[in-house]
Amino acid sequence: MRWRGGAGAAAMAALLARGLARGWAARGALRAGQRCVAVPGGPDGEVGEARRAAAAGEEASGQPTIFSKIIARSVPATILYEDDKSASPPLPRQCLVFRDVAPQAPVHFLVIPKRPIPRISRVGPQDTELLGHLLVVAARTAQAEGLADGYRLVINDGKHGAQSVYHLHLHVLGGRQLGWPPG
């Protein structure tokens, strides 16, 4: 396995055009003592993005998503992990981990499968191994990011679940005490 880090200014610039970033002038990981900025959940925030994506039929459009473009390296991102075939034993190239461009916690990254699956509600028995792998990679990346005190995994599904990108993705959030209940 290969772990990577680095600044995310290029990823921020690319994703601003899509409207996923809200009010950030520069990209970088938040550290202890810094505040994360919450994106509004209303019609102008992530919920609004989810409604627009559903209304536009993005799930069924067959068009590449922003995540497909990150996988293809046509949109930059701060990549934290990618399955590596040079590992011993070789790993299939199943997933990619990168920092969220609009973090909702001091540590916020996404774990995505390289094979496009639009929603968690669209998985089948053939996806069992992949889904388990995504969870293991999320746990290992959380450990590498110093989230020893805990973190939250979130998977949004569909319009009512506020899914704004129709490519399955796990949010991993941590670095501060998270509230309950979410949403």
Closest CA to 136 of 79, 94, 85, 183: 94
Degrees (nearest 5) of the Cα angle 15, 136, 49? Answer: 30
Beta strand pairing call for 95-99 and 79-82? antiparallel
Closest CA to 30 of 109, 135, 97, 96: 109
Is 169 in the active site? yes
Q: How far apart are the first and last CA of the chain?
A: 34
Beta strand pairing call for 2-3 and 95-99? unpaired
Active-site position among 133, 160, 167, 169: 169
Label residues 95-105 b or e (16+ Cβ within 10 Å = b).
Answer: bbbbbbbbbbb
- Residues designated catalytic: 169
